[in-house]
Structure 1
Amino acid sequence: MSKQFTKAEVAEKKDGESILLIIDGNVYDVAGFLDQHPGGAKILKRFGGKDASKQFWKYHSKSVIEKYGPKLQVGTLKEAAKL
């Protein structure tokens, strides 16, 4: 089973060895993908530590997440308790 992250944990990993971002409730570490990203490293760094779902789907098709997702996914987003 993959690790579950809180939004706060994802927000802490926005630069350095790990750059985590959220897409549709899944958490991806894109630090090792910076040099391969066709749009450049800058955009991945900008969304590091954040939910990038809206921006991801604006520029990518489902085939992109199917191709790269399994290699980059490190966990899922832990749902916050609803009071």
Structure 2
Amino acid sequence: MSAQYTTAEVAQHKDESNGLWIIVDTGVYDITKFLDEHPGGAKILKRMAGKDSTKQFWKYHNAKVLEKYGPKLKIGEVKEAAKL
């Protein structure tokens, strides 16, 4: 079973000292060590850190990108919020 994180926990990881995490769909990805590899540059990754980046990710990438890099960057899943 993979680790589960709330969106609030992900939001705490928005700078390099705490690590840079993003959400894509329901996956949580640690992109801290990926900054130098990102073809679009580190700036956009730093801007999206701590947030749900699903919309922006799919705007510029296809499924093959997530298949290639996802397994080494994925650290868990987003916990579902309680439905009231």
Provide, for residues 45-78 of structure 1, a one-character-per-residue CA deviation record: whole Å limited to 9, x for no partner: 1000000000000000100000000000000000
Q: Percent identity?
A: 64
CA distance in 2: counterparts of 1:15 and 1:28, whole angstroms: 14
Provide, for residues 27-56 of structure 1, a one-character-per-residue CA deviation record: whole Å limited to 9, x for no partner: 000000000000000100100000000000
Q: Which consecutive residues of structure 1, in runs of 5 or more, have no partner in the other structure? A: none
TM-score by length of 1: 0.97
Aligned structure 1 segments of 4 or more residues deviating by more than 4 angstroms? none
Instruction: Give the structure 1 partner of residue 59 of structure 2.
Output: 58
**RMSD over equivalenced CA pairs, Å:** 0.7
CA distance in 1: counterparts of 2:15 and 2:33, whole angstroms: 11
Instruction: Give the structure 2 partner of residue 43 of structure 1.
Output: 44
Q: Which consecutive residues of structure 2, in runs of 5 or more, have no partner in the other structure? A: none
> Any idea what SS the aligned residue of 2:68 has?
helix
Aligned residues: 83
> Any idea what SS the aligned residue of 2:40 has?
coil
> Any idea what SS the aligned residue of 1:57 has?
helix
CA distance in 2: counterparts of 1:42 and 1:16, whole angstroms: 12
CA distance in 2: counterparts of 1:28 and 1:16, whole angstroms: 14
